[in-house]
Amino acid sequence: MSKYPFKDIEATWQKYWAENKTFKVTEDPAFPKDKRAYVLDMFPYPSGAGLHVGHPEGYTATDIYCRYLRMNGFNVLHPMGFDSFGLPAENYAIKTGTHPKITTQANIDNFLKQIKALGFSYDWDREISTHTSEYYHWTQWIFLKLYKAGLAYESDMPINWCPDCKTGLANEEVLDGRCDRCGHQVERKNLRQWVFKITEYADKLLEDLDTLDWPDSVKAMQRNWIGRSEGANVTFMTEKTNDPIQVYTTRPDTLFGATYMVLSPEHKLVEKITTAEQKEAVEAYVYQANLKSDLERTELAKEKTGVFTGAYAINPLNGEKIPVWVADYVLISYGSGAIMAVPAHDERDWEFAKKFDLPIIEVLKGGNVEEEAFTGDGPHVNSGFLDGMGKEEAISKVIAWLEEKKIGSGAVNFKLRDWIFSRQRYWGEPIPLIHCEKCGIVPVPEDQLPLVLPPTDNFEPSGTGESPLANISDWVNCTCPECGGPGKRETNTMPQWAGSCWYFLRYLDPKNNKAMVSKEAEEYWMPVDLYVGGAEHAVLHLLYSRFWHKVLFDLGIVQTKEPFQRLINQGMITSFAYQRSDKSLVATDLVEEKDDKFFEISTGEELSRVIAKMSKSLKNVINPDDIIRDYGADSMRVYEMFMGPLQVSKPWQTKGLVGVNRFLNRVWDIAEREITDEEPSKDMIKVLHKSIKKITEDTRDLEFNTGIAQMMIFINEAYKLEKCYRKLWEPFVLLIAPYAPHLAEEMWKKLGHNNTLAYESWPQWVEELTKDDEKEIVVQINGKLRCKMILPAGTSLDDMKAAAHAQDRVKELIEGKTIIKEIAVPDKLVNIVIR
Ligand code: ANZ
Ligand code: ZN
Ligand code: ZN
């Protein structure tokens, strides 16, 4: 069979689409609101490694959907751009001295070449890159809007700090307590920071999740991250110094079981209440705790540590004197940074009490608190006026009691922390603020934006906790816009999240230099109807962008409360890896396959095949460029969609890719046959209508793998015909077009059309023609007609007999009789012979 000329075909059509701007889209008022669609991909960070196979997965899915929508009369916005500020480019600059602007542009060019080679139907006139001043002009403008709304503040906060890289790190840049760049242990360091009050939006961010068509798992992750809990603040007094210690508890009903208290090592009272004898031990402990990350400190599995302060506090409920400890499992950043410990009913407290031999008092019945903490519900005991009550009742009773006595009150707490927004780095948006000795902090006037990132070859961080921008004194020293006196620019930059918080708005009106987006464009397209991307963005990007959007909404700048109406997470494309019996992995190139078994070449050991992430060390990384070169973009597209449902993770199998390529070759083979206007057989018409129905529904529902399976069924039948029937082929070419657009355009041309098929009408099916024929079957017993039944034409003989036995009349007549013989005639009758 001929290998179809995908190289020529793909190059030709990519050129055609680009030259004719086939996918350029405008805000055409002729399309009513329900015929407009905004379909968005998570834009890539243009890394030096280029595109990996995960990118085309989501991008192909949205592309198929967009092409399908266009053919169904929709005006479709489908843009692409680059998230191009960020750490790797700056690291590379420090290592090689190449300016990040140069590496970033080179990487973008490479990504563009790769993305364009896949034939996606983006409107390239709307391309954006977040590192360009035309773009970050508006990132800075939004920052000022948030600042002026009182949502940005300066604060000295302990943050993750790598002493080796001399920079602050975001939480997501710390892995297992170590620096993601150099592996050095991360410390906590107080640094001056710009912080956003995302916590002011905690309630809205939580409530509006209910309005979104998002995967439940992502919603659950956002809910957990926001972490709303209800409980009470309770004040304990220290015994000698008479200082109030406020604690936050979700279980005020367990107050009678509080046998000790814990202050976080950073708590303000630690120094004050610690006794002279305990001073040295406490100071040493506090110093050690400072070196650990929050994650290390709170991990359940970690051995608990702590020291006694020597001080006592009084339980306000029963007047008992309880010891006050310092322990790092209590975080300063949550609640009030102090807890009442109830070892009988809290796991962490239980472990701590066991280790330090502190009393465990049961206050709810139901478990064995000597063995483990009981966290369930049950009647209260040892609890005075709460005895006998269940959890909920006891909680409200005790809160009422605390409120009456003015020693506590009901309280709501969030896990969500304010968002540390500044970075001590070069390759990011400058924060447009000026420090003036006279006027304080002064925003850069809007008409002076963009505040351009100054060029420099000195990217090395200073080590003082300042960004490299602090070294550029020409830039730092400026005039205060308010008083005209000397001012100093803010030298921290924004984190990578800034640009991606709002990029979907810029696509709507990318060249506007008067506003971030015109009201008309925003009203025309928003919200995003479908957003597809990886699950790793469940909290950070998707939470940050919802926050900015809500602020912009409250300021009247945008008109939708939520940016992304529907979200789909694509599954990860994994790979196979090979495992020895001791579970160690063998690189793919050291393995041979014999009779579906796998062996390590050097030792002959049989290996088991397992699923693993693609990785350089396992030599199982697939490069999209190689696939496109050897099999073509259409094969790559169809294969990635055929691997399985979009949302699940699935292993790459080159065998499967070859199979898809063979399928497209067969399609081409049919297209090369003599085209005829003769009427196809009735059976083929039926196959066609069934296919139109199935492929339409599956494409609409983003169930591309089963849609492709139906195309294969159709091609199996069409392949048996000698000619290419126009009546069958025109609709089929349109059906496959979203999936294999280059091939389809070429076949459309062969059918005599001289225009792109991108805006042809999607084929329609006739319901009648999708139904199987039905036959009336006669059922006889001993040759005598007893009843009739309707079955699909071509029902197998066994199924016909079974259907006959299911008839009530037959059951009745053969009861207690012996069946001698059963005869079935296809599509006609069943005769049961009994005695
Ligand atoms: C007493 C108690 C008894 C608690 C009990 C739980 C069970 P969530 O539900 O996650 O919001 N806590 C409070 N502040 C803390 C801090 N800064 N660091 C570490 N732990 C802290 O957690 C609230 C519970 O976590 C609080 O309720 C408190 O322990 C602890 F049977 O108080 B509880
Ligand atoms: Zn480091
Ligand atoms: Zn001033």
Cβ–ligand 1 distance for 330 under 6 Å, the answer yes
Task: Decide: 362 in ligand 1 pocket, CB within 6 A.
Answer: no
Would you say the CB of residue 340 lies under 6 angstroms from ligand 1?
Answer: yes
- Segment 106-129 mean pLDDT: 97
Q: In this structure, is residue 444 part of a structural domain?
A: no
Q: How far is CA 117 from CA 146, 318, 534, 580, in A?
A: 40, 74, 22, 39
Residues 600 and 740 in one domain: no
Same domain, 744 and 646: yes
Task: Write the pLDDT tens digit of every residue in 575-615.
Answer: 888 999 998 888 888 999 999 899 999 999 999 999 888 87
In a domain, 334, yes or no: yes
Ligand with an atom nearest the CA of residue 260: 1
Confidence at residue 600, expressed as pLDDT on a 0 to 100 scale: 93
Q: What is the β-pairing status of strands 229-238 and 307-314?
A: antiparallel
Q: Residue 467: CB within 6 Å of ligand 1?
A: no
Q: Which of 225, 236, 246, 250 to mutate to test the pocket of ligand 1 (most atoms within 8 A of CB)?
A: 250
pLDDT digits (tens, 9 = 90+) for 86-116: 887 888 888 888 899 999 999 999 999 999 9
How far is residue 132's CA from residue 268's CA, in Å, rounded to a whole number? 45
Is the CB of 246 within 6 Å of ligand 1?
Answer: no
**CATH code at 90?**
3.40.50.620
Residue range 178-205, pLDDT digits in tens: 887 788 888 888 888 899 999 999 999 9
The last residue of one of the domains, among 612, 641, 670, is 612
Other CB atoms within 10 A of residue 767 CB: 8
Mean pLDDT of 664-691: 97
- The atom of ligand 1 lying closest to the CA of 231 is 27
E-state strands within 223-297: 229-238, 244-249, 260-263
| CA proximity to 684, closest of 723, 630, 738, 634 | 723
pLDDT for residue 460: 79
Q: What's the pTM?
A: 0.86
Q: Name the residue among 271, 262, 229 with its Cα closest to residue 330.
A: 262
pLDDT of residue 355: 96
pLDDT confidence tier of residue 213, bands split at 50, 70 and 90: very high
| Closest residue by Cα to residue 564 from 543, 587, 590, 586 | 543
Are 802 and 708 contained in the same domain?
A: no
- Check residue 463 and give its pLDDT: 72
Domain end point (choices 379, 397, 413): 413
Give the chain's end-to-end CA distance (angstroms, integer). Answer: 59
The atom of ligand 1 lying closest to the CA of 344 is 31
Q: Does the pLDDT of residue 299 top 80, yes or no?
A: no
**Is the complex ipTM more than 0.95?**
no
pLDDT value at 172 more than 70:
no
For ligand 2, the distance from its centroid to the CA atom of residue 534, given in whole angstroms, is: 27
What is the CA(205)–ligand 2 centre distance, in A? Answer: 33
pLDDT tens profile 259-296: 999 999 999 999 999 999 999 999 999 998 887 766 67
Q: Is the shortest distance between the CB of 229 and ligand 1 below 6 Å? A: yes
Identify the CA nearest to 38 among candidates 22, 54, 27, 51. 27
Report the pLDDT value the prediction gives residue 158, as an integer from 0 to 100.
Answer: 78
Contact 822, 831 (CB under 8 A): yes
Mean pLDDT score across all residues of the chain:
94
Q: Is the CB of 352 under 6 A from ligand 1?
A: no
Percent of all residues in the chain with a pLDDT value above 90, rounded to a whole number: 81
**What pLDDT is attached to residue 301?**
66
**Among residues 555, 588, 612, which one ends one of the domains?**
612
Helix (H) or strand (E) holding 141: helix 133-148
pLDDT one-digit tens code per residue, 626-656: 999 999 999 999 999 999 999 999 999 999 9
Q: Of the bound ligands, which one is closest to the alpha carbon of residue 177?
A: 2
Residue 709 has pLDDT above 60, yes or no: yes
Residues 538 and 622 in one domain: no
Q: 333 CA distance to ligand 1 centroid (A)? A: 13
Mean pLDDT check: name the lowest of 458-467, 474-483, 754-763: 458-467
Q: What is the pLDDT of residues 217-265, one digit of tens each?
A: 999 999 999 999 999 999 999 999 999 999 999 999 999 999 999 999 9
How does residue 420 score in pLDDT terms, banded at 50, 70 and 90? confident
Q: Is residue 372 part of a domain?
A: yes
Distance from the alpha carbon of residue 489 to the mean position of ligand 3, in angstroms: 12
Residue 218: both structure tokens together: 């992502």
Q: What's residue 336's pLDDT?
A: 94
Q: Residue 770's CB: how many other CB atoms inside 10 A?
A: 16
Residue 303: band (very low, low, confident or very high) from pLDDT cuts 50, 70, 90? confident
Pairing of strands 724-725, 819-825: unpaired
Pocket residue to mutate for ligand 1, from 248, 261, 347, most atoms within 8 A of Cβ: 248
- Residue 392 contacts by C-beta under 8 Å, 6 or more apart in sequence? none
Nearest CA to ligand 1 atom 11: 229
Same domain for 104 and 248, yes or no, is no
Q: What is the pLDDT at residue 295?
A: 66
Exposed (0-12), middle (13-18) or buried (19+): which is 365, by Cβ within 10 Å? Answer: middle
Q: How far is the CA of 483 from the centre of ligand 3 (A)?
A: 4
**Banded pLDDT at 298 (limits 50, 70, 90):** low
- Mean pLDDT, residues 797-805: 94
For the segment 437-448, what is each residue's pLDDT rounded down to a tens digit? 999 999 999 999
Contacts of 309 (CB under 8 A, 6+ apart): 263, 270, 273, 274, 275, 278, 282, 323, 324, 325, 326
488 labeled binding residue: no
Contact indicator for 80, 714 with CB cutoff of 8 Å = no
Domain count, the chain: 5
Confidence check: pLDDT of 1 > 60 = no
Which of 295, 334, 412 maximizes ligand 1 atoms within 8 Å of its Cβ, making it the mutation to test the pocket?
A: 334
What Å distances lie between residue 169 and 417, 425, 459, 462, 787, CA to CA? 16, 10, 16, 15, 80
Taking the CA atoms of residue 133, residue 139, residue 145 and residue 151 in that order, the dihedral angle to the nearest 10 degrees is -140
The enclosing domain of 655 has a CATH number of 1.10.730.10
Indicate which CATH number applies to the domain containing 360. Answer: 3.90.740.10
Q: Both 603 and 653 in a single domain?
A: no
Q: Which of 803, 812, 743 is nearest to 777 (CA)?
A: 803
List the beta bridge partners of residue 578. Answer: 586, 609
Q: Is the peptide bond before 527 cis (omega within 30 degrees of 0)?
A: yes
Among all bound ligands, the one having the nearest atom to the CA of 163 is 2
Q: Are residue 800 and residue 745 in the same domain, yes or no? A: no
Residue 337 beta carbon below 6 angstroms from any ligand 1 atom = yes
Has residue 684 been placed in a domain? yes
- pLDDT score, position 87: 80
For ligand 1, whether the C-beta of 249 sits within 6 Å is yes
Contact between residue 78 and residue 122 where contact means Cβ atoms under 8 Å apart: yes
For residue 484, the ligand closest to its alpha carbon is: 3
Do residues 763 and 830 both lie within one domain? no
Domain housing 283: 229-413
| 712 shares a domain with 820 | no
138-156 confidence digits (pLDDT tens): 999 999 999 999 999 999 8
Task: Look up the CATH number of the domain holding residue 823.
Answer: 3.10.20.590
> Is 259 a pocket residue for ligand 1 (Cβ < 6 Å)?
no
Contact by Cβ (8 Å): 304, 329: yes
Distance between CA 463 and CA 467 in Å, rounded?
9
Span 69-84, pLDDT tens digits: 999 999 999 999 999 9
Q: Confirm or reject: Cβ of 251 under 6 Å from ligand 1.
A: yes
Distances (CA, A) of 65 to 58, 165, 298, 668, 702: 11, 45, 44, 23, 7
Residues 590 and 560 both lie in one domain:
no
In a domain, 7, yes or no: no
CB of 380 closer than 6 A to ligand 1? no
| Atom of ligand 1 at shortest range from CA of 335 | 14
Q: Ligand 1 pocket check: which of 234, 251, 262, 399 to mutate, most ligand atoms within 8 Å of Cβ?
A: 251
What whole-number distance in Å separates Cα of residue 74 and Cα of residue 462?
Answer: 54
Comparing C-alpha atoms, which of 123, 119, 139 is closest to residue 131?
Answer: 139
pLDDT of residue 777: 95
Residue 273 in any domain: the answer is yes
* 346, 352, 386, 395, best to mutate for ligand 1 pocket (most atoms within 8 Å of CB): 346
> What number is the average pLDDT over the span 372-392?
96
For residue 626 the two structure tokens come to 């190689």
533 within domain boundaries = yes
Asked if residue 192 is part of any domain, the answer here is no
262 in ligand 1 pocket by Cβ < 6 Å? no
**Across the strands, what pairs with 308?**
325
Contact at 8 Å (CB) between 334 and 230?
Answer: no
What's the gap between Cα 777 and its chain centre?
55
Residues 359 and 407 in one domain: yes
| Closest protein CA for atom 20 of ligand 1 | 330
Same domain, 705 and 787: no
Residue 335, ligand 1, Cβ within 6 A: yes
